[in-house]
């Protein structure tokens, strides 16, 4: 049974035609997960998944199923799921059983999808390699000695390793697009505010955005149709109607204007990655697109800006995890100070503690203006660069990551690790939608092409990606069928 190589669209047709049941499909994926060496999951919800699959089969038999009814998925362990451990990859929340559903979890349940389990991730979404998880490193399905990218590395590995037809991810500085690129799948970060953040454990509230991680752009459109929408429980949610993201997938892209930022093709970009990206751009030209060079002059400041703004917000968001209300609590505290000090120092990992300290320092009296306020001003300049660019072009293209996946344990220096997000951060700082789609290989490792669109242009990005995937087969290639 090789159904795991089918897309969501193909699985949906198979379920409706009775080629297999959701219970059979779910059992097949669970068997693959339980024999996998990728460490892509923190929690596997076998019983819940089979229960949801049987309920989905009943709906299919009765003829009142939706397009995604009975499709299994992996859920990033940052989304609260009622009655299921929600850890955010941290020892701090290792004992936290969520008493409610995140809005995204609720919407997926309403669509009668089947949750296979909670995907591994960098602790509190802080990381670019999925080596910061309390539950161990996730491995890249293309080469298990390599990182899968982060923070949504478990989600990317699950989709690339065919352990799930799709996964949810979150993107604060590239955490959907970068692992999607390094694992050879399609990943979409919607416009900030397009998908509700309610019940999504916060890292940096002005940057975090949830999105789908799938094999194809068509699948991403199907999932975004369910995930997107206004939520009164989230004050940052945009009150806009949800369009049908599958509607314009087949539109022609003849005459499309593509902008290539010269800053994305400078020092630090691996030559072979650059070659693959440019080959993908040439494919678009052969389909009738027009290419022009543009400039995003302030993108050079994206890393220092992000690594002030995000730690400031994380130090504030994580202050609630103090050993008193919920989460990890140290043993036998001597007094209240000891309880706070040891619970937080024992409960948080090194990278999380580093970012909390940076954020607390930057927000402290005497430094707020020098660091946080200045970073917010530069953030506006970065956003203005994009506004100017989108007056000239329809979409911006470039690399997702400067290199392909690197060896597990090979990058020790935090600043070197931060450079992995150099091409993705600016879209988060500006709140723009971005995508990674498979665009080739370098030394048998996937290379992704990044698409960045104007605000609320998810439909256009999906159309552009889908048209590329009609002409190429990079998205159909798998690390090898081990079933």
**CATH architecture of the domain with range 3-255+394-476:** Alpha-Beta Complex (3.90)
* CA-closest candidate to residue 472, choices 255, 217, 248: 217
Q: HSE-up of 205 (CA within 13 Å, CB side)? A: 12
CA diameter of the chain: 71
Query: Rounded distance, CA 195 to CA 215, Å?
Result: 20
In this structure, what token pair is assigned to residue 428?
């988060």
Tell me the two tokens of residue 382: 């970065």
**What is the token pair recorded at 481?**
């069928």
CA dist 265 → 26, 293, 297, 337 (Å): 43, 11, 13, 50
Best CA proximity match to 163, nearest among 33, 11, 7, 12: 33
CA–CA distance, 178 with 67 (Å, rounded to integer): 29
SS3 state of residue 402: coil
3-state secondary structure of 186: strand
Catalytic residue flag (residue 76): yes
Q: Is 261 helix (H, G, I), strand (E, B) or coil?
A: strand
Q: Give one DSSP letter per residue of 21-60, joined into a string.
A: -HHHHHHHHHHHHHT-SS--EEEE-HHHHHHHHHHHHHHH
395 near 455, Cβ under 8 Å? no
Phi and psi at 217, nearest 5°, equal -65, -35
Taking the C-alpha atoms of residue 127 and residue 311, their distance in angstroms, rounded to an integer, is 12
User: Which pLDDT value is given to residue 255?
Assistant: 97
CB 73 within 8 A of CB 113: yes
Q: CB 28: neighbour CB atoms within 10 A? A: 17
Sheet-wide strand order for 209-214: 41-44, 114-119, 72-76, 166-171, 209-214, 186-189, 434-442, 445-452, 395-399, 257-261, 290-294
Token representation of residue 297: 């002059």
Predicted local confidence at residue 281, as pLDDT: 98
Q: Mean pLDDT in each 10-residue stretch from start to end of the chain (483 residues)?
A: 91 97 98 97 98 98 96 98 98 97 98 98 97 98 97 98 98 98 98 98 96 98 98 97 97 98 94 98 98 97 96 96 93 96 97 96 92 96 98 98 97 90 97 98 97 98 98 94 39
Rounded Cα–Cα distance for residues 481 and 4 (Å) = 9
Closest residue by Cα to residue 258 from 235, 237, 232, 285: 285
Pick from 208, 183, 190: which is nearest to 125 by CA? Answer: 208
For the chain, percent helix, then strand, then coil, each to nearest 5?
40, 15, 40
- What predicted TM-score, i.e. pTM, was given to this entire model? 0.97
- Return d(Cα 277, Cα 400) in angstroms, integer: 9
Q: How far is CA 74 from CA 34, 174, 398, 460, in A?
A: 13, 19, 28, 26
**Cis peptide leading into 217, omega within 30 of 0?**
no
What distance in Å separates the CA atoms of residue 477 and residue 301, rounded to the nearest whole number? 36
The answer to whether residues 182 and 175 touch, using CB atoms and an 8 Å cutoff, is no
Report the pLDDT value the prediction gives residue 483, as an integer from 0 to 100.
35
- For residue 7, the tally of other CB atoms under 10 A from its CB is 18
Q: Which of 98, 175, 343, 401 is catalytic?
A: 175
Q: How many CB atoms lie within 10 A of CB 176?
A: 34
The number of beta carbons lying within 10 Å of the beta carbon of residue 107 is 19
- 98-157, pLDDT tens digit by residue? 999 999 999 999 999 999 999 999 999 999 999 999 999 999 999 999 999 999 999 999
The rounded distance, in Å, linking the Cα atoms of 165 and 6 is 8
Q: Write down the pLDDT at residue 2.
A: 85
Every domain range in the chain assigned CATH 3.90.1300.10: 3-255+394-476
425: enclosing H helix or E strand: helix 425-430
Paired tokens of 480: 């090898």
d(CA 160, CA 182): 10
The reported pLDDT for the residue numbered 480 is: 76
Tokens standing for residue 12: 């949906």
- Asked whether the CA dihedral 427, 428, 433, 435 is positive or negative, the reply is positive
Catalytic site residue from 87, 129, 133, 151: 151
What is the distance between the alpha carbons of residues 284 and 50, in angstroms, rounded to a whole number?
Answer: 43
Among the options 76, 118, 146, 460, which is catalytic? 76
């Amino acid at each position: 049974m090789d159904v795991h190589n089918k897309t969501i669209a193909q699985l949906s047709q198979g379920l409706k035609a009775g080629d297999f049941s959701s219970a059979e499909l779910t059992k097949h994926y669970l068997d693959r997960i339980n024999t996998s060496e990728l460490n892509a999951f923190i929690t596997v919800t076998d019983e819940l998944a089979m229960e949801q699959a049987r309920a989905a089969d009943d709906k299919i038999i009765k003829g009142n199923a939706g397009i995604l009814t009975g499709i299994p998925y992996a859920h990033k362990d940052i989304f609260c799921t009622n009655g299921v451990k929600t850890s955010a990859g941290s020892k701090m929340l290792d004992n936290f059983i969520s008493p409610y559903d995140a809005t995204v979890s609720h919407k997926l349940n309403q669509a009668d999808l089947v949750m296979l389990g909670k995907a591994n991730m960098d602790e509190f979404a802080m990381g670019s390699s999925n080596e910061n998880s309390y539950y161990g490193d996730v491995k890249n399905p293309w080469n298990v000695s390599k990182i899968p990218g982060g923070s949504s590395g478990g989600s990317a590995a699950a989709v690339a390793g065919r352990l799930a037809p799709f996964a949810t991810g979150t993107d604060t500085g590239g955490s959907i697009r970068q692992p999607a690129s390094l694992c050879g799948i399609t990943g979409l970060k919607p416009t900030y505010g397009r998908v509700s953040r309610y019940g999504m454990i916060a890292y940096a509230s002005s940057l975090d955005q949830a999105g789908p991680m799938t094999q194809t752009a068509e699948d991403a459109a199907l999932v975004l149709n369910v995930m997107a929408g206004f939520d009164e429980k989230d004050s940052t949610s945009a009150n806009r109607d949800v369009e049908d993201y599958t509607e314009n997938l087949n539109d022609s892209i003849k005459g499309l204007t593509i902008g290539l930022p010269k800053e994305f093709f400078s020092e630090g970009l691996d030559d072979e990655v650059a070659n693959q990206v440019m080959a993908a751009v040439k494919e678009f030209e052969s389909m009738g697109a027009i290419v022009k060079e543009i400039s995003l002059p302030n993108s050079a400041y994206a890393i220092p800006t992000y690594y002030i703004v995000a730690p400031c917000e994380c130090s504030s968001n994580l202050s609630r995890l103090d050993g008193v209300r919920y989460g990890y609590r140290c043993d036998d505290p001597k007094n209240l100070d000891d309880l706070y000090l040891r619970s937080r120092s024992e409960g948080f990992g090194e990278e999380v503690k580093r970012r909390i300290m940076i954020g607390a320092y930057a927000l402290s009296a005497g430094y707020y203006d020098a660091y946080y306020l200045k970073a917010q001003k530069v953030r506006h300049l970065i956003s203005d660069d994009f506004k100017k660019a989108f007056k000239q072009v329809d979409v911006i293209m470039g690399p997702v990551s400067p290199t392909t996946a690197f060896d597990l344990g090979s990058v020790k220096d935090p600043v070197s690790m931060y450079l992995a997000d150099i091409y993705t951060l600016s879209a988060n700082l500006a709140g723009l939608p971005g995508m990674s789609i498979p665009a080739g290989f370098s030394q048998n490792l996937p290379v992704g092409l990044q698409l960045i669109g104007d605000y609320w242009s998810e439909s256009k990005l999906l159309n552009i990606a889908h048209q590329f995937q009609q002409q190429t087969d990079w998205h159909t290639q798998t690390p090898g069928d081990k079933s």
